[in-house]
């Protein structure tokens, strides 16, 4: 019997190999003297301006940033920060954990008339000495919180983001795909649900084979930095946060596939597998004193 499993694994591995697509280029390019970033970050699959437009289009039309002080947690290249300033935000702060992305965001902020600034962070929002915000935004980041060892878990990140808001302030979250969505594994594959159908061992054997030497990842957390966030788990985290849900929607978008998934998500047993993305707005209760405000008062 001990020879059966290797044979089965070989067959499964060959089947998985047929579903994969070449990974994006990981070599570093110099975008500024002394500043190097992965090449794929200079050639995103979705135009950054279009990505920002989609984000706002998936929120309620009543959502308004004019005159607001806004924090973007996990700002990436900073394009959403710039878009929010252009939409009338009074001040926008972008925080990024990854040093190359922070450098890239700084280079992106070329308009001195826009009220945008960027900060690098080790992932601990409590360490940031910032004035409280009217709005905190988390775009395409929630599925990554807590994936890497030592990084704050998703529930902790929600608490820390809420602590940076004024009473009545809004926490805006949008991300996808969720773990059980068709391509929720964030891996280079053409097969829907590959992350659920194929053994993790097989997936990351192929992952290491197709990457440059030195890649040792054996799990989704290590390899693609995702925390396997499901709709049910997300709801549990937000229900326990103490924040008031203003609005929440799933499968947001104008692509025909989203309409189909919204319909199928109502079928018992299919909800998790037919939830591509999650968008929502939560409010800090007005009777809760913001720790950021309390800290400022203590210093004064």
Cα gap 107→119, rounded to integer Å: 13
Instruction: Give the mean model confidence (pLDDT) for residues 141-151.
Output: 92
pTM exceeds 0.75 for this model:
yes
Instruction: Give the mean model confidence (pLDDT) for residues 88-110.
Output: 81
Position 112 scores a pLDDT of 83
Position 41 scores a pLDDT of 62
Instruction: Give the mean model confidence (pLDDT) for residues 290-300.
Output: 37
Question: Within 10 Å of residue 240's Cβ, how many Cβ atoms?
Answer: 11
Indicate if the pLDDT at residue 32 is higher than 80.
no
Residue 134, token pair as written in the block: 């009217």
Instruction: Give the mean model confidence (pLDDT) for residues 145-156.
Output: 92
Indicate if the pLDDT at residue 67 is higher than 50.
yes
Q: What are phi and psi of 69, to 5 degrees?
A: -95, 120
132 half-sphere exposure, CB direction, 13 A CA radius:
21
For residue 238, give Cα distances in angstroms to 75, 162, 191, 243: 21, 11, 31, 7
Position 38 scores a pLDDT of 65
Instruction: Give the mean model confidence (pLDDT) for residues 53-73.
Output: 97
Position 298 scores a pLDDT of 29
Indicate if the pLDDT at residue 49 is higher than 90.
no
pLDDT digits (tens, 9 = 90+) for 236-292: 999 999 999 999 999 999 999 999 999 999 999 999 999 999 999 999 999 866 444
Indicate if the pLDDT at residue 222 is higher than 70.
yes
224 half-sphere exposure, CB direction, 13 A CA radius:
19
pLDDT digits (tens, 9 = 90+) for 103-125: 777 776 768 889 999 988 877 78
Instruction: Give the mean model confidence (pLDDT) for residues 176-203.
Output: 96
């Amino acid at each position: 019997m001990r020879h059966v499993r290797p044979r089965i694994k070989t067959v499964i591995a060959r089947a998985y190999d047929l579903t994969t697509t070449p990974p994006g280029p990981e070599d570093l390019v110099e975008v500024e003297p002394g500043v190097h970033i992965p090449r794929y970050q200079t050639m995103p699959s979705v135009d950054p301006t279009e990505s920002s437009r989609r984000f706002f289009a998936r929120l309620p039309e009543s959502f308004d940033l004019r005159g607001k002080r806004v924090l973007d947690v996990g700002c990436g290249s900073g394009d959403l920060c710039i878009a929010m300033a252009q939409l009338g935000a009074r001040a926008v702060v972008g925080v990024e954990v990854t040093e190359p992305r922070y450098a890239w965001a700084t280079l992106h902020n070329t308009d001195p008339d826009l009220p945008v600034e960027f900060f690098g962070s080790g992932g601990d929002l409590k360490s940031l000495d910032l004035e409280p915000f009217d709005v905190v935004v988390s775009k395409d980041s929630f599925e990554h919180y807590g994936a890497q060892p030592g990084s704050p878990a998703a529930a902790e990140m929600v608490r820390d983001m809420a602590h940076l808001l004024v009473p009545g302030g809004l926490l805006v979250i949008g991300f996808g795909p969720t773990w059980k969505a068709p391509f929720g594994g964030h891996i280079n594959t053409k097969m829907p649900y590959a992350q659920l159908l194929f053994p993790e061992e097989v997936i990351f054997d192929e992952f290491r084979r197709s990457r440059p030497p030195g890649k040792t990842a054996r799990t989704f957390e290590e390899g693609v930095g995702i925390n396997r966030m499901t709709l049910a788990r997300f709801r549990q985290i937000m229900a326990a946060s103490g924040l008031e849900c203003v609005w929440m929607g799933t499968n947001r978008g104008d692509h025909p596939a989203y309409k189909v998934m919204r319909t199928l998500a109502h079928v018992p047993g299919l909800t998790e597998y037919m939830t591509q993305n999650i968008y929502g707005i939560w409010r800090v209760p007005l009777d809760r004193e913001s720790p950021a405000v309390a800290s400022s008062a203590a210093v004064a």
